[in-house]
Structure 1
Amino acid sequence: MGLSAHVNVFNTCLRILTEKGYALRLTVDTEWYTHRTEAEAFAVRVMFATPGELEEDPGLGRRFWIAEKDGFYFCAGNPIELLGLVAVREHMKPAADVSYWWHTDGPDLLSEMRDSASG
């Protein structure tokens, strides 16, 4: 069985984060579109909206899903990404919020995967 990133997984991710003790909030930046053309603003609204929201709120702003715990702050474009960022913290187990605590040494897998996909 498989699972893919979709809005129907959002609530599960939020519940997992809550069960892990993270304080959650959602902020919407409606000013984010101020200096964009109408077409650009619409494209961005579509990208960040969940099904049905464009019909309900055509002035929708960019969303920032936020989780906080133990002095660590995580911000993402959706709850799936947010859970992924928290998973990085749980894997790395940083003692303090210092610069680049998420960095790992080793091969550049991102470049390798991009190269293999394009070639």
Structure 2
Amino acid sequence: FCKRSIEHLFRFGKQKLLMTSYLTPDVHHEENWFKLTLLSYVNLWAARKLAFVLPRDWEQYLKTDKSIKITPSLVQRDFSRIISTLGTSAKFPKRRGYSPGRIKGYKKAPRTRHDVIKKGQKKSTKKLETS
């Protein structure tokens, strides 16, 4: 590892992987966040041979063949396609927005009713008589 590649790692981590966006007074949490960003960088590095060059509309000058060197940002741009091709063991995300509602035919039990106690009024206590 040379100094230049470490500098590129930190620049890419700060700009694209949100390495410095997690701010907390607890140092342990920040260390974990730093480790997660490094792990995501390793994932991008491991997936570099699976990535295709996907030039944006204004980048028509870019070659799309294998002669171009694939950078981590190009891999990150194509990472959703790689994950959908390979699959993942992660669960599907939870639904957001409006809930699907109750199951049809489900009857909710009525609420239990309680006596209203007004201020200054004594509670009515019923004692059980034991004979």
Q: Between Structure 1 and Structure 2, which shows a larger proportion of helix residues?
A: 1
Larger radius of gyration: 2
TM-score interval (norm. to shorter):
under 0.3
- Structure of greater relative contact order (alpha carbons < 8 Å, 6+ residues apart): 1
Q: Between Structure 1 and Structure 2, which shows a larger proportion of strand residues?
A: 1
Q: TM-score under structure 1 normalisation?
A: 0.26
Q: TM-score under structure 2 normalisation?
A: 0.24
